[in-house]
Amino acid sequence: MQGLYTRTAALYHQATLEVIFAESLEVLVMALEAVNEEAKPLGLAVSWLKTKVQVFGDLLDEAVQSVHACGEDIEILESFTYLGSAVHNDGGSRQEALRRIGIAHGVMDSLSGSIWRCRYQCRRTKIRIFKSFVIPVLLYGCETWTLNSDLKRRINAFGQNRKQTELFLLAQPLEALSQIVLPTGEDVLRRLFCHGSNSRDNRKAVIDEVVRVWERAHIPVVPLRSIMKKLETLVGKYEVRKKAKKRQSEGDKVSDALLQGHLASLFDIAAPATSSSMIHLKQKDKDLLDDQRGQRKMVMSTVDKESIAKESRKHERLAAERRRKEKELAETLERGEMIELVTGSSATAECADSSTSSSDTNSSARGSAAASASRPKKPKITKEVAAAADRVKLTSRGAHHVFSAIAADQGVLSPSTSSIRRHRKVLRKETAEAAVKDYRNQVQEHDAVLILHWDGKLLPGSESQGHVNRLAIVVTSPSLEGEKLLAIPALPSGTGEAMASKVEETIRHWKFEDRVGGLCFDTTASNTGVHAGCCTLLEQKLGRPLLNLACRHHVMELILASAFKAPSATLRPARRSTIQTVPKEVAHSHKSQCYDHQRPTIG
């Protein structure tokens, strides 16, 4: 691209980066002067030491080293680092990709002694550390790269000279068991060592996976304790041969061949043939078991239509039974609520008015009144009661037990679990709608401009989900006190598109799309990407540019990391005082070089 590129830094309590593109030097100088004049009434000042010019193309002579604007000389650079990425004047990504590969190699070398060569860390932990600390450094900002075949080869070859993870006699660890064939002994061991260690918990996890595959084949298995004993025996044989792997005598080679043949056979955990479950086993399942014990040519189909139809009928039957019970319970509660209590005065007035009624009718009315009077009243679940139950994290079933004990003491009717759950859902919805309406009225009353904050974090989910990546979305405003948490939705992925969609959905639900004036975010590639970053996508979705405010604590993390990487900050066991002095010096420099964070900022 033919043109000029400049970066200016304007300081007012925190740094704000401005980018200017121009087609000629004269236009660039005029733009810089205009920015400087517009900043002065707002109390802003351009940091000319941090302002740089970059030329794309061959517009200037190589002898020209600076540009004069506003009485200052601005340096012309071939490349500079912007938001952690190197920008080169050729417009390509080769320099940045090679730089990232070098940084990633440095990270690998820095972790060599403490992590990679550590004998007390299992392989699974080392793989997680590699994926969490090395790969993000290597691929930071890769969504903006333009790669050729050479760069792709270099990136794919990263780490190939490291220690191989191949297992003795077993090839590579196995990430998951196959779902179309029954596992062999080799498959089970590869899956076990993929967890990193031969612990009891890992063995139980592998056994659960193996049992699920056998259940998918509809073949009954022996008890779990027998499977555990079989797996421990297999692991013991493998460990004995592994200890003698350096010996290459004829006897050792024969033992290795016998072990490999044993591992290649089926990890057989089928129930005894004389058991009733095996006697009534379908013929096609018996054929599959015989084949897996021998030639292993048969595979299980991905969809078992017969089993799916059977399970579907079972679920429909259970659902119909559940609906019938709920209907009967609702009718019973409705009949109980429709019975009105008849007091003694009303019964007396009724008897006085009906002077022509017979004695049988009077006795029946008195019996009905007595029966109605003996029926206990049903308590009402108020908003305060529901809020108290939510505050102590009391489930609907637990609340039913509490209400039952109180109702028995007070002589009233205890609500059912389904009634409690239904009332709590309604009250939660009403409370949430009231909170949204109240904050929306405050924003409209003060005509506030909102700053939108978001950040993601892995939080525990249900047992089936494990950890879930959730995005906290918060708004603040100089016109309002404190901040307001809008939502914490779950993210399907950590990409900028996924975050932008959730943020847009949330602010449109609160009807704040016209009130948002700025974005506050951390400086990750998923937020600051030029094409697929969350900030760029939000501006496109809202149809207007927004003020970008990068979080200052991420900048301070980079400063602290640089302090520890300096030669004077090298840590040794004999110089532990360095650990105590460096943070104090960094904190002192932070206070002396940065503005007070309690001063007002741009709204």
- What is the structure's pLDDT at 42? 77
What are the backbone dihedrals phi and psi of residue 95, each rounded to the nearest 5 degrees, phi first? -60, -45
Highest mean pLDDT among 156-160, 491-495, 533-537: 533-537
| 386 vs 426, residue with greater confidence | 426
| 175 vs 59, residue with greater confidence | 175
What are the backbone dihedrals phi and psi of residue 460, each rounded to the nearest 5 degrees, phi first? -65, 135
Q: What is the pLDDT of residues 541-559, one digit of tens each?
A: 999 999 988 876 666 666 7
> In the structure encoding, which two tokens stand for residue 385, read together?
């009661």
- What is the structure's pLDDT at 68? 75
Cβ atoms 471, 456 nearer than 8 A: yes
What are the backbone dihedrals phi and psi of residue 316, each rounded to the nearest 5 degrees, phi first? -65, -40
Q: Which amino acid is at 391?
A: R
CA distances to 196, 288, 346, 377 from 343, in Å: 75, 75, 5, 14
Cα separation, 143 vs 97, whole angstroms: 11
- What is the structure's pLDDT at 371? 41
Cα separation, 239 vs 255, whole angstroms: 13
pLDDT over threshold 50, residue 16: yes
Cα separation, 90 vs 78, whole angstroms: 8
Under the banding of pLDDT at 50, 70 and 90, the label for residue 595 is very low
Which of 112-116, 162-166, 255-259 shows the lowest per-residue confidence on average (mean pLDDT)?
162-166
| 517 vs 11, residue with greater confidence | 517
DSSP H or E segment with residue 6 = strand 3-12
> In the structure encoding, which two tokens stand for residue 533, read together?
């970053």
b/e sequence 520-538, b meaning 16+ C-beta within 10 Å = bbbebbbbbbeeebbbbbb
Q: Which amino acid is at 187?
A: D
- The candidate with the shortest Cα–Cα distance to 295, out of 273, 272, 267, 264, is 264
- What is the structure's pLDDT at 14? 44
DSSP H or E segment with residue 467 = strand 467-476
- The candidate with the shortest Cα–Cα distance to 45, out of 21, 26, 22, 72, is 72
- What is the structure's pLDDT at 464? 62
Helix 185-194 / helix 200-216 crossing angle, nearest 10 deg = 130
Which of 10-19, 191-200, 201-210, 466-475 shows the lowest per-residue confidence on average (mean pLDDT)?
10-19
- What is the structure's pLDDT at 75? 74
- 3-class SS at 129? helix
Under the banding of pLDDT at 50, 70 and 90, the label for residue 409 is low
Cβ atoms 183, 189 nearer than 8 A: no
Segment 360-370 shows an average pLDDT of 44
Segment 37-54 shows an average pLDDT of 76
Provide CB contacts within 8 A for 370, sequence distance 6+: none
- What is the structure's pLDDT at 18? 66
- What is the structure's pLDDT at 603? 36
pLDDT over threshold 90, residue 500: yes
User: How remote is the C-alpha of 22 from its chain's centroid?
Assistant: 42
What are the E-state strand segments in 343-391? none
Under the banding of pLDDT at 50, 70 and 90, the label for residue 328 is confident
| 492 vs 602, residue with greater confidence | 492
Cβ atoms 521, 550 nearer than 8 A: yes
Cα separation, 155 vs 147, whole angstroms: 10
pLDDT over threshold 80, residue 332: no
**DSSP state letter for 142:** G
- What is the structure's pLDDT at 277? 78
- What is the structure's pLDDT at 208? 92
**Three-class HEC string of 162-208:** CCCCCECCCECCCCCCCCCCCCEHHHHHHHHHHCCCCCHHHHHHHHH
pLDDT over threshold 90, residue 502: yes
pLDDT over threshold 90, residue 503: yes
Segment 481-497 shows an average pLDDT of 89
pLDDT over threshold 50, residue 10: no
pLDDT over threshold 60, residue 525: yes
**Three-class HEC string of 495-555:** CHHHHHHHHHHHHHHCCCCCCEEEEEECCCHHHHCCCCCHHHHHHHHHCCCCEEEECHHHH
- What is the structure's pLDDT at 553? 66
Segment 40-54 shows an average pLDDT of 76
| 194 vs 566, residue with greater confidence | 194
Decide the pairing of beta strands 483-487 and 467-476. Answer: antiparallel
The overall average pLDDT reported for the chain is: 75
Under the banding of pLDDT at 50, 70 and 90, the label for residue 353 is very low
Q: What is the pLDDT of residues 110-161, one digit of tens each?
A: 887 678 767 667 777 888 888 888 888 888 888 778 778 777 777 777 755 4
- What is the structure's pLDDT at 519? 92
- 3-class SS at 53? strand
pLDDT over threshold 80, residue 213: yes
Segment 285-306 shows an average pLDDT of 81
Cβ atoms 476, 483 nearer than 8 A: yes
pLDDT over threshold 50, residue 592: no
The shares of helix, strand and coil residues in the chain, as percent rounded to the nearest 5, are: 55, 15, 30
- The candidate with the shortest Cα–Cα distance to 516, out of 530, 527, 500, 529, is 500
